[in-house]
Structure 1
């Protein structure tokens, strides 16, 4: 199967996804297979929260729109321009997917297929339906993909290589189980923001997006702040107030109440605005509804620290304070070439 045919299928998928947004679902007559798939997808979006309480329609639609923006011919051409897949001999690549945020494994799924390989997918129990639906749409657009896409219910077997995502604990199991195969094993990572006090209100509102999108469950969500000595958090909390409705979601509210109670019983000093607590802590991974922070003396020490801890960091947000940092509000909108853990997935697949 030619790469141009696979790429065309994903462009059509992007056209399909572009119909669905928080502003409303607008059916387009030019989208292929709409009569079969449009209403079914609307129903799936509405039912997603019953499958996973964290998957609200708002967050599902945000993920869908992010992929709709990514899956254009120009973006795909730019992404693929640095690789030559002409000599690929198709292998079976197993994917063990996470389920912390909607469609978190879609990039790996896309990468395997567009590089010319066949994909064996083991979905997370927390995100079983969205990717299967999109695969069904792709097959309807390009029936030859049916032989290249397999969803595995039980044990993952018969693969030539694997990409597996999980916690630090499951990663140890993955490393043992997949030790005889080429693999990418992803572990826990967190994202941080580095502030210097000159941020505008709009910058800090963007930071709120990085904190609260997907309720903070993604590895690209900011869970830790580095702030200068004597930093005043007043402007930070004023900006976070834009996200006050997050406390209306029962699962988030339950986590807020629980984690706040644990902190208070442990006599930790907290700053709190009734839907977010911030706590001084050296760790990177904060619990849901909380963000950790540390003070710093100078930016050089932070740059050195982040370089030393690179394997724990997914991305860094700042106003150009740290090299290669992400702009405020952009962590959950990575480009196709922004690889998880900075591991070039296409290069890995191209070398199999």
Structure 2
């Protein structure tokens, strides 16, 4: 698989240049679609993922031996964040299977354009089909989507008698202890607000000591929004929620122009870009809650000193690392490469 990894790495090297024609065209087309991607967030996602793709990193993650019996693996890409299906594409072609992609109508340009680039650099060709057809033409399926979509796909895969790796709704949380630095607070803002809070790695719940001064954390949210501006649709989606909170006199805070919203209350996930601030008295009660909801979470972001006190079987990262996943991260705790090599 050395040649394939080399082609991927060369394509990634070219795509690290924002002005590279294929990338520039795909980005322009993507921003014109009906999604909540912004130019800044899109550049962040592409740059972050391209920077990981070296021959050595691909070999370490995927191995260098091709699978003995290549099959057609269908991949249904979620369109909530930019390049959501890139890791699955890399895993499929990087171990020697044949890739059949189905892109979201919210983001139909990025992944096909990058796959074309890999092929131009000597890698395997890839094919893209309609969502409705992918199960019928695949020997195995990987898919991410809403719980309702996944339930439908699970039934379809059972009927077609093909193996599947299906991922439903997940959210992420942060746990604070008051020892966070300014850098940590800015990292938390990125974890929560990048991609308008739409990703499974976005922090939706923030557990904080009940007597913690929240103002420095809210200031960090505003600073982040000054660096990477919100999508114009975000304030509109938060307007009714903020009005309701005000009407019932629920404690909350929001950024100028409603570019984010934070409400104080029970640990209940709100809509994207609406962060729930959950006060706690003892860290043990947070740990107990997290343990009871581990199968709903993608990751926990916290300082090392906090993570050492949380024995939860969920990915744990530093504040500011949620939106910077390593190449070999395991969505929903499942090893994609192991699944593909086991087919």
Cα deviation digits, residues 211-262 of structure 1 (max 9, x gap) = 1111111111111101112222121112222024466632112122232123
**After the TM superposition, which of the residue ranges 43-52 and 58-67 deviates more from structure 2?**
43-52
Cα root mean square deviation, aligned: 1.9
Matched-pair contact (CA < 8 Å) for 2:67–2:97: no
Query: What is the CA–CA distance in structure 2 between the aligned matches of 1:85 and 1:308, rounded to whole Å?
Result: 40
Corresponding residue to 1:15 among 6, 10, 13: 13
Query: What is the CA–CA distance in structure 2 between the aligned matches of 1:72 and 1:52, rounded to whole Å?
Result: 32
> 2:166 matched to 1:182?
no
Corresponding residue to 1:150 among 110, 118, 127: 127
Corresponding residue to 1:212 among 181, 190, 193: 193
Query: What is the CA–CA distance in structure 1 between the aligned matches of 2:38 and 2:173, rounded to whole Å?
Result: 25
Query: After superposition, where does 1:122-271 map in structure 2 within 5 Å?
Result: 122-142=102-122, 145-146=124-125, 149-153=126-130, 154-156=132-134, 157-179=136-158, 180-245=161-226, 249-271=231-253
Note the residue ranges of structure 1 that are not aligned, 5 or more in a row: 26-37
Deviation for aligned residue 1:85: 4.1
Query: What is the CA–CA distance in structure 1 between the aligned matches of 2:4 and 2:284, rounded to whole Å?
Result: 46
Deviation for aligned residue 1:339: 1.3
Deviation for aligned residue 1:305: 2.2
SS of the residue 1:291 aligns to: strand
Query: What is the CA–CA distance in structure 2 between the aligned matches of 1:59 and 1:273, rounded to whole Å?
Result: 18
- 1:33 maps to none
SS of the residue 1:231 aligns to: coil
- 1:31 maps to none
Deviation for aligned residue 1:301: 2.7
Deviation for aligned residue 1:43: 2.9
Corresponding residue to 2:284 among 300, 313, 321: 300
> 2:46 matched to 1:64?
yes
Matched-pair contact (CA < 8 Å) for 1:171–1:186: yes
> 2:27 matched to 1:42?
no
TM-score of the superposition, structure 2-length normalised? 0.90
> 2:337 matched to 1:346?
yes
Query: What is the CA–CA distance in structure 1 between the aligned matches of 2:221 and 2:80, rounded to whole Å?
Result: 23
Corresponding residue to 1:286 among 270, 292, 303: 270
Corresponding residue to 1:6 among 1, 4, 7: 4
Q: 1:57 to 1:204 in 2, by over 3 A?
A: same
Deviation for aligned residue 1:59: 1.6
SS of the residue 1:119 aligns to: strand
The total of aligned residue pairs comes to 329
Corresponding residue to 1:336 among 297, 316, 327: 327
Matched-pair contact (CA < 8 Å) for 1:48–1:56: no
